[in-house]
Every structure is written in C-alpha cells, then in structure tokens.
Amino acid sequence: MSTEKFSIHIPHDDLHDLNDRLARTRWSRQLPGEGWSRGVPVNYLKELADYWRDGYDWRRHEARLNEFPQFVTEIDGQDIHFLHVRSTEPGALPLVLTHGWPNSFVEFTDLIGRLTDPSAHGADPSQAFHVVVPSVPGFGFSAPPRGTGWTATRVARLWAELMRRLGYDRYGTQGGDFGAYVAPELARAAPDQVVGVYVVSGLGFPTEKDVPEMNDQERAAYTELMQQDWMNGVNHHALLRAAPQTFAYGWHDSPVAALAWMTQKFHEFNATGRPLEQAIDRDLFLTNVSLYWFTGTFGSSAWPYYDSTGSGWPEGQTAVPTGVYSGPPGIRRLAERHNTIVHWPEDNPAGHHFIAMDQPDRFAADMREFFAKVR
C-alpha cells in the first residue's frame, strides 16, 4: 500500500470561523461554590478563550507541527496519519509512541527531539530512537473507525503492520492513558519484533477485591489512588459510553464548550499540585484543543469508551519485558501477575497525567534507561 507525505494547512475560513464563534459566545453565569467545585470557573475560561482568540497563533504552531515528517497510509481500510522522525545516530532503536485521550500526537511535540537527538540534550547518543507516532483512528488526521467493534488490540495490529511497512523488524513501544492499553497489545501482536513495552503508569493498580490481601503500605497506596482528582471528577468513561453523540453536538458546534470540556479533563488529570497552565504550556494545550476543533474529532475520538463495556486498568502482557515511568500508586506485586517487570522506579517526579507534556526531559531520560536494559 502507498504511503503519502502529509502536511497540515487549516483553511483561513476555518480560522475566521473559530474566532467569530469565540467572539459570539453566550456565556453562562457563575454558579455558587468555591474554585473548581462546580466545574471550570467562568472567569478562568473567559480569560483562556480570549487568549485563544486574540493571543494564540495557530499558524505558528501549525508550522512547528509541520517540521515533523508526516505521512498517511491505508491499513485495514483505515487512513492512518503518523509522524516518522528518524535519528541520525547509527543503531537508533525504532520506537512507537501511542497517545492517549483527550490528546493527540501533539502530546509528544516536546519529547520527540529528546529521543531522536539525545546528544543535543546532554544524553548518550547511543540511546537514540527512530520515532513513529501514529494518530489513533478517529483522532486528529486519522480517519474515524468504520463501524463498531474497535479495540486496543485492533489498533495494535495496525501499528504492527505500519512498522512492517516502514521496514522495522525490531522496535520498542510506549503508551500512556489509552496508549497503555495499546502498547502491551502491540507486544502480543508482534512478540518477535517488540523488544520492550514502556508505559507511563497504570499497571498493578489495586482494586477493591485486592484489599483483603494488602499490607499496610499497599493499603496506603490504594487510599492515595482513590483520593486522586482523576478518580473523583467527571466520569468520562460512563458519559462517553452512554451518549457520546449527544455531547458531541456541543463540542463540535461551540469552541467554548469544547474548550471547557478539555480544560475540565486536563485539570482533573493534573497531579502536580501546580495550576494547569504551569504544568502544561498554555500554547501546547491550545494546540491540542485546536487540532480537535479543526478536525472535528471530539465525537469520533470517543470510540474507546463507547465501544467498551466498562472501565478497567490495563493489565499488560508477558511476551516481552515491561517498564513504567512511575510504579506508584500501582503495586509491583500486582503488576507482576501479568507482566515481566524489569523497570519500576518509585522516585520519578510526579507530574501531569500527560507527563510528556509536563516533564519531557525526565520522561525521555527514564525511557532511555528502560530501553537500555532491553535493546
């Protein structure tokens, strides 16, 4: 199958339409309650929307995204968009990065150079990677799934075929959020090609049924997990399973509705203790929001939820070695029921759920450390 070069160019009329819709927003009044207790505060969102309209420069960030070599190819009847950034270092290990929800390939904008050119960032050049970043079907510039029945396993098979077409017969795989489900499935799909699976977190997360056999330290980890904002905020799993079409009308028609939804989730996913705009650069956040808006993929990106029957933590796999960026609040003993763990740091800096956007230096360093053990 052919692979075509791809470049982003959003029509000027789409930019004008976005600004016009932002300018004509019909703002809701602020509800009683402190801070974020009722959702995104009106004043916070107004300031962010004003900046999106008058301060944020899409064309500048579009040009930055176009600095990465991009392509489109058809696999299993799906048009798949992907970045393919080769390192100049001999012996670089190919690496597939899988983004999460509600994110996109923008998640890795600040990470890719640290992986392909480690010497430019003070790291060992022998630990370089050729980086492949596919857009999950229904996200960004990848076509929405045709029909129902899609799973992380099916996405992983697409990635295995993509890597075969690119000529890679030995590679690593990384994923966070939804990517933490896809990356292990890629190892299952291509165990003779994948050298290791690296996930941000999520393996060995305890559940209520594990409590009776826990020691005091493990119970403390479970208590910490249950107190996290992302465990107690808007239940997007249930919402997107029940009525994604209903909510997609608002996200597709109103940029402020879309911005509020994204801000709510990125705020809940923020475990840094810092305001969201300090954890993730505001322009980087808005580039991701803008990509969803311009591609109209708020609804189509919901398929991992509406195609599932419930929510559960990723289990992993035993076909190849596994490493994580952060073990806690997962419990290694539980993770080792389904994984061969060779890398389980407990002292990596905490950060945003999308750690590649928050701490790309530390994330890249830890990824190099894991793959040095398996490459």
pLDDT in tens, 102-131: 999 999 999 999 999 999 999 999 999 999
pLDDT at 78: 94
Separation between Cα atoms, residue 49 and residue 111, nearest integer Å: 27
Q: Left (φ > 0), alpha (ψ -120 to 50) or beta: where does 115 sit?
A: alpha
Q: What is the pLDDT of residues 286-314, one digit of tens each?
A: 999 999 999 999 999 999 999 886 778 89
pTM (predicted TM-score): 0.95
Quote the distance between the C-alpha of residue 181 and its chain's center: 11
237, 305 Cβ separation under 8 angstroms: yes
pLDDT at 318: 97
Total count of residues recorded for the chain:
375
Percent of the chain with pLDDT over 90: 82
Q: Which residue, among 276, 324, 24, has the nearest Cα to 174 in the 3D structure? A: 324
pLDDT at 104: 98
CATH of the structural domain 3-374, one choice from 2.30.42.10, 3.40.50.1820, 3.40.50.2300, 3.60.40.10: 3.40.50.1820
pLDDT at 230: 60
Percent of the chain with pLDDT over 70: 98
The mean predicted confidence, pLDDT, of the chain is 94
Is residue 79 scored above 90 in pLDDT? yes
List active site positions.
177, 305, 353
